[in-house]
Structure 1
Amino acid sequence: MENRKAVGPDEVPIQAWKALGARGVCILTNLYNRILSDRIMPDQWRLSIITPVHKGKGSVQDCGNYRGIKVMSHTMKLFERIIDTRIRQECTVSDFQYGFQPGRGTMDPIFALRILMEKHREKNMPLHFLFLDLQKAFDCVPREMIWWALRSKLVPETYVEIVRDMYRNSDSIVRTAVGDTTPFPITIGVHQGSALSPYLFSVILDELSASVQKLPQPWLLMYADDIALVDGDKGRLTRRVHAWREALENGGLKLNVAKTEYMACNSTDLTSLRIGDDTVERTDYFRLKTVKTKKALLD
């Protein structure tokens, strides 16, 4: 972990543990081993601080234009990294997922889609892209899906119970210019700002979509909660997205049709694409959203 990051409610920065050297390692080892044995973490870790940060666009008076940045205990985040490593050793997600996977990044799916596009242009064959957007996916996933997905992946019950305890009685306070609010419970979604959350969400999405992951790469590509469906036939693509929508909704996730985008190349069909009663307008470009930056997916 990097130094000089905002500290959680316990006000213990990571550099304090680094300054203790071998003594700090001994203290943390004893603490973490006790948590692994008892499967209960300290109650001080259950509280987090949320600071609203304006997105840089829209009215500052509109709460919808703010992003909540959650700050958690550094000691807890260090423990989360240990659990993250152990869970990754016990289960994997499909090769369709490129987000938060070692040795993978945004350039891999971008390259795959560009090569696919070039090959179809050479042969003058139609190609259709549908970029799915999930509505507040990390914030709205039911927590019961976390334990279900881990157990479906045959993760040892010890780690399942430890993860469940991390979400037990989790509270937050909002830090404002006039002071902090009183603590309030958060009962849905994965922890924002958590070192463990990205992989937990990947496991959930992988299990939910297992029944619809039928075509090989690059006909299906995922980066965290960004999903790209590709097909040479528009009708088949429509049927695929309906199957995806049903699979996602069965797990409590909702497809945001308003932000879902449809693109086509070498196609004489200039019409939009329909998902149920909703219409997805055709666009000329799409931008792949990542955690840190935005990169053009297709020029």
Structure 2
Amino acid sequence: MENSAVPTGLFSFQFSFQEKVSFHSNPKECSNYHTIALISHTSKVMLKIFQARLQQYVNGELPDVQAGFRKGRGTRDQIANIRWIMEKAKEFQKNIYFCFTDYAKAFDCVDHNKLWKILKEMGIPNHLTCPLRNLYAGQEATLRTGHGTTDWFQIGKVVHQRCILSPSLFNLYADYIMRNAGLEETQAGIKIAGRNINNLRYLDDTTLMAESDEELQSLLMKVKEESEKLGLKLNIQKTNIMASGSITSWEIDGETVEAVSDFYFLGLQNHCRCGDCSHEIKRPFLLGRKVMTNLDGIFKDITLSTKVHLVKAMVFPVVMYGCESWTVRKAECRRIDAFELWCWRRLLRVPWTARRSNQSILKENSPGCSLEGILLKLKL
């Protein structure tokens, strides 16, 4: 099937449907719902094949500032880049201005006809784009209400949530916007090793950077204008600006772009005037404690070695997320050691009031590499 379908593109994706699912706490709010695609296993196998063949073209088109769903890249890289820039700005006493942009329903607003045009312009061969057209061709939807369902209607937008191809397709769609916005040619940005950098991206999470308020606003307006041409709209309420110096809020189309002193970027908090991250290290330990507490019910009926593996697989990654960019001092090392020992004592149900040394706790659990050792490995 692969040898005949992939070169010709004559493969029809059937037996898939989409469902609206709420990913937020309030299911009564329509804007909290997103479409996910439920695709047959046969189609998933073919999509995996197409994704592997499409990836070589995607890697050739995307710039190195895009880290979303690319081999050897990830959220940690962009988090480290942002923090490194902040630290250097503080060290050299320079003002750096950031704009963290957010699209409203990014995946839901990708226009199919414009997507096929972009793929053609980027040189994606027909034997790969034809199956993609088949995947999205003839899509229909209906709305279910308290009074029944509506008539079926055609869908001309959306890249499927939870589909293996969607991140690559959206990356190409978003990169086309940035190219047309002229971000590579403009002089606005910050100079690093003789190179001008004005944006860092992870899928639809884009951070614009400049050395002045005016340059940053110019970059944002260019991106906004080109995005609207392709059907994507900036969510101004979730778009924020931040600076190492003074900055005031902006007004764009009657909406306020809020100036903030800290911002959660890819899950971690960044402060504009703090080059260090001592304030942020506290948060992952609180999250780790919450995960550890939630595991109490599971720990009752499993062996000790399984408990240790669960802690190392489910608790430690939460704590260590983004640790590559941490500046670890003696106080942070003590906090790391204290958290690890708290985990092992809770696992053994040994209270702090019990007269047991830390060495005896570690010997009984035999955890292997310590949490501090894991941190050092990740930072290398």
Fold match by TM threshold 0.5: yes
- Structure 2 segments unaligned to the other structure (5+ residues): 190-194, 272-279, 281-380
1:99/1:222 contact within 8 Å kept: yes
1:48/1:171 contact within 8 Å kept: no
User: 1:271 matched to which residue of 2?
Assistant: 248
1:220/1:229 contact within 8 Å kept: yes
Instruction: Return the match for 1:121 from 90, 100, 118.
Output: 90
Which residues in structure 2 correspond to 1:1-299 (within 5 Å)? 30=1, 32-42=2-12, 44-45=14-15, 47-50=16-19, 52-53=21-22, 55-56=24-25, 58=26, 60-91=27-58, 92=60, 93-171=62-140, 185-211=154-180, 212-214=182-184, 218-265=197-244, 267=245, 269-289=246-266, 294-298=267-271
Which amino acid in the other structure matches residue 40 of structure 1?
L
**Cα displacement string for residues 52-105 of structure 1 (whole angstroms, at most 9, x for unaligned residues):** 34522x3x4333344443311122122112111111223431111111011001
The CA distance in 2 between the partners of 1:217 and 1:162, in whole Å, is 38
Which amino acid in the other structure matches residue 278 of structure 1?
E
**Cα offset, 1:218, TM superposition:** 4.7
User: 2:302 matched to which residue of 1?
Assistant: none
User: 2:326 matched to which residue of 1?
Assistant: none
**Cα offset, 1:169, TM superposition:** 1.1
The CA distance in 1 between the partners of 2:169 and 2:269, in whole Å, is 27
Q: Which has the higher helix share?
A: 2
RMSD between superposed Cα atoms in Å: 2.8
The CA distance in 2 between the partners of 1:187 and 1:143, in whole Å, is 6
User: TM-score, with normalisation over the residues of structure 2?
Assistant: 0.62
1:53/1:69 contact within 8 Å kept: no
Which amino acid in the other structure matches residue 256 of structure 1?
N
Relative contact order, higher structure (CA 8 A, sep 6+)? 1
Would you say how many aligned residue pairs link Structure 1 and Structure 2?
260
User: 1:5 matched to which residue of 2?
Assistant: none
Which amino acid in the other structure matches residue 123 of structure 1?
F
After alignment, is 214-223 or 113-122 more displaced? 214-223
SS in 1 for 2:80: helix
Q: Which has the higher strand share?
A: 1
Percent identity between the two aligned chains: 31
**Cα offset, 1:37, TM superposition:** 4.9
**Cα offset, 1:246, TM superposition:** 1.2
**Cα offset, 1:185, TM superposition:** 4.1
User: 1:17 matched to which residue of 2?
Assistant: none
The CA distance in 1 between the partners of 2:37 and 2:67, in whole Å, is 25
User: TM-score, with normalisation over the residues of structure 1?
Assistant: 0.77
The CA distance in 2 between the partners of 1:193 and 1:180, in whole Å, is 25
The CA distance in 2 between the partners of 1:67 and 1:154, in whole Å, is 31
Question: Judging changes above 3 Å, is the alpha-carbon distance between structure 1 residues 54 and 229 closer, same or farther for their aligned structure 2 residues?
Answer: closer
**Cα offset, 1:115, TM superposition:** 1.0
The CA distance in 2 between the partners of 1:253 and 1:280, in whole Å, is 17
**Cα displacement string for residues 204-248 of structure 1 (whole angstroms, at most 9, x for unaligned residues):** 111221132225565310000010001111111111111111111
The CA distance in 1 between the partners of 2:270 and 2:117, in whole Å, is 33
SS in 2 for 1:149: helix
User: 2:338 matched to which residue of 1?
Assistant: none
User: 2:343 matched to which residue of 1?
Assistant: none
